[in-house]
Structure 1
Amino acid sequence: MDGTLVDSEKVWEIALHELAANAGGTLSPAARQAMIGSSMANSMQILRDDLGQPDRPEAPDVEWLTDRVFELFGAGLVWRPGALELLHAVRFAGLPTALVTSTGRKLVEVALDTLGRENFDVVVCGDEVSMPKPDPEPYRTAAALLGVAIEDCVAIEDSPTGVSSALASGAAVLAVPAELELPPTDGVHLRTSLVGVDPAYLADLLVHRGLLQPER
């Protein structure tokens, strides 16, 4: 979701910098980058380490951050280039579709006001799995809920954490970097955007699984 379908990482950045300031510190660029695509628990650990406050209680920070991002999400989210068109094409083609995100259910419900609940058969949130990304559990859970083999799925990701999760799950992986650069990786098809991607392109990724797809 974040960074792949909508440009919400910038929203998270606003809230995280505000949280760090509330704690009397400043969030470093390296710490912020390490949080992208990560779970809430891992992000809060990174924050504490970055601020040099290892004993800072986590629960109040999670509550504050969730409420702040909830407020910012409610103002509306901006689609990433080509994402809405691809989602509409996939749904028009009748393909089972899952949203697999590290973000918690409360915030995802707000984001779905932009994304459209009707666009997903299944939604798997970061607080609904025992092992979040980069573990493969979120993608395998989504495939199981859809009733399809993970090997017949294409996962679309934007971050190293998400790519690791999708690749380990057994899905074909299409990566479109947003905030972080993604290096060429065996089995991962890299593009600069989702513009021009359609169901036929996704099907071709399954046929040519394991081969790097040149950009077009």
Structure 2
Amino acid sequence: MTTVSTPVRIGGDGEDSGLQAVLLDMDGTLVDTEDLWWQAEVDLFAGLGHRLTAEDRTHVVGGPMTRVIDYLTARTGTTLSAAELTELINGRFVDLLAGGVPLMPGAERLLNTLAAHGVPTALVSASHRHIIDIVLRSLGAEHFAFTVAGDEVPRTKPHPDPYLIAAARLGADPARCVVVEDTPTGVAAAEAAGCPVVAVPSIAPIEPAAGRLVLPSLERVDLDLLRGLVVARV
């Protein structure tokens, strides 16, 4: 298990280039789990007698779990409590993770490149700690200085808290930390924290904007591109 309390010293290539760190989302960004989350939600609500649609998916993609539960409760009228639904969805998701988690195209190459050039990285997710720890078995905890879980921060995405906490722990300026995200919720959190963003949409579309680069795949993300986003920002 990793925590979000001990400061991490920035060093290596990150200082010299202007790029101090890269903060990465997990679900749908580095690992192909968005389909698994959706399947867990569909399975659970089918068992409760409710059929979820593709339109519902656009409302729940990217979490956090509190927003997902609020939406699905209003949508279906279920009488189960938020705590019960959270436990059931997380439980079904863990079951679906049993076969391992596939990495998104380009994820391993990007993480290896950042490590080779000494650029500090942190994993910043709306998923809860026990989910992150399971996914890290496939993704590799060694790729990250630390990880930030959605149940370890006062407010999770779309609030800026997770990214501000990650930058602070690295001793970094948020404007010099590039965030890599896949959902509008995550992009909103990163931009509220003052970070430049690379968005690689998974389910819901994301439009380009100032300080935000939208790409079709992580395979298009390299160190020069990340440095360029910081230079343009600062």
Normalising by the smaller structure, the TM-score range is over 0.9
Aligned-pair CA distance for 1:82: 0.9
Output the CA distance in 2 between the equivalents of 1:96 and 1:3: 21
> Secondary structure at 1:66's aligned position in 2?
helix
Partner of 1:103: 127
8 Å CA contact retained: 2:211, 2:229: no
Partner of 1:192: 216
Aligned-pair CA distance for 1:56: 2.7
Letter in 2 for 1:112: L
Letter in 2 for 1:22: G
Residue 70 (structure 1) aligned with residue 89 (structure 2):
no
Show CA shifts across 1:119-165 (max 9, x none). Answer: 00020011111111111111001111122121110000110000011
Normalising by structure 1, we get a TM-score of 0.92
Aligned-pair CA distance for 1:196: 3.5
Residue 12 (structure 1) aligned with residue 37 (structure 2):
yes
Number of equivalences: 209
Output the CA distance in 1 between the equivalents of 2:170 and 2:146: 7
Normalising by structure 2, we get a TM-score of 0.86
Partner of 1:157: 181
1:88-167 paired onto structure 2 within 5 Å: 88-167=112-191
Output the CA distance in 1 between the equivalents of 2:139 and 2:116: 15
Output the CA distance in 2 between the equivalents of 1:3 and 1:101: 11
Partner of 1:172: 196
Return 5+ residue gaps in structure 2 as ranges: 1-25
Output the CA distance in 2 between the equivalents of 1:207 and 1:185: 16
Shifted more, 128-137 versus 22-31: the winner is 22-31
8 Å CA contact retained: 1:6, 1:77: yes
Letter in 2 for 1:158: D
Letter in 2 for 1:199: L
8 Å CA contact retained: 1:158, 1:175: yes
> Secondary structure at 1:208's aligned position in 2?
helix
Letter in 1 for 2:144: F
- Aligned CA-pair RMSD: 1.3
4+ long deviations beyond 2 Å: 28-31
Higher relative contact order (CA closer than 8 Å, sequence separation 6+): 2
Identity of counterpart residues, as a percentage?
39
Return 5+ residue gaps in structure 1 as ranges: 211-216
Show CA shifts across 1:7-46 (max 9, x none). Answer: 1000111110011112211123222211111211111111
Show CA shifts across 1:152-187 (max 9, x none). Answer: 100001100000111111111111111111122222
Aligned-pair CA distance for 1:109: 0.4
Aligned-pair CA distance for 1:6: 0.9
Output the CA distance in 1 between the equivalents of 2:220 and 2:211: 20
> Secondary structure at 2:123's aligned position in 1?
strand
